[in-house]
Structure 1
Amino acid sequence: METNVGGYDRTGRFIVGAILVGVGVVGYAGLLRVAVGPVPQALMALILVLIGAVLLVTGLTQKCPTNSVFGVNTCKPRSR
């Protein structure tokens, strides 16, 4: 798979991913209420951590399967 994540997309993934992981960990510890409606606190915290981790990994590897499916490429071609 070719790289398809770059520029502001990559930076945004790092920032939002780190925030979600942090909020999920703090929520799981019980220091912040993250439960939404009928979803229990621990489950919602785990969901936030997983989404944040996926964003961090896709930002780090610069490869996103969802971008490939929709044909989105935010990575500039490398100049040689």
Structure 2
Amino acid sequence: MSNVSNLSDVNDMSDLSAQLAGVARALLAEDDVQQTLDKAVAMATDVVRGCDHAGVSLVRRSQGIDTRAATHSIVRRGDE
């Protein structure tokens, strides 16, 4: 368990817990893997402070990088 230095840290942790619970519920509600990935990257830009774009990429030794979900084309370009 982490040390909490002040009351605002407790509130921040409570807010984070509530946000992550909401993300988990939203992801579980999706019908398939692709919809789940698309929802995850879309929500990442809302939940992660300073995140403008997000993506999920698979790196395979023989096939290179496969960007499975991205919020913007810049993410895909970064994987090229």
With normalisation by structure 1, the TM-score equals: 0.36
Q: Which structure has the higher relative contact order (CA within 8 Å, separation 6+)?
A: 1
Q: Give the number of the structure whose residues are more often helix, by fraction.
A: 1
Q: Give the number of the structure whose residues are more often strand, by fraction.
A: 2
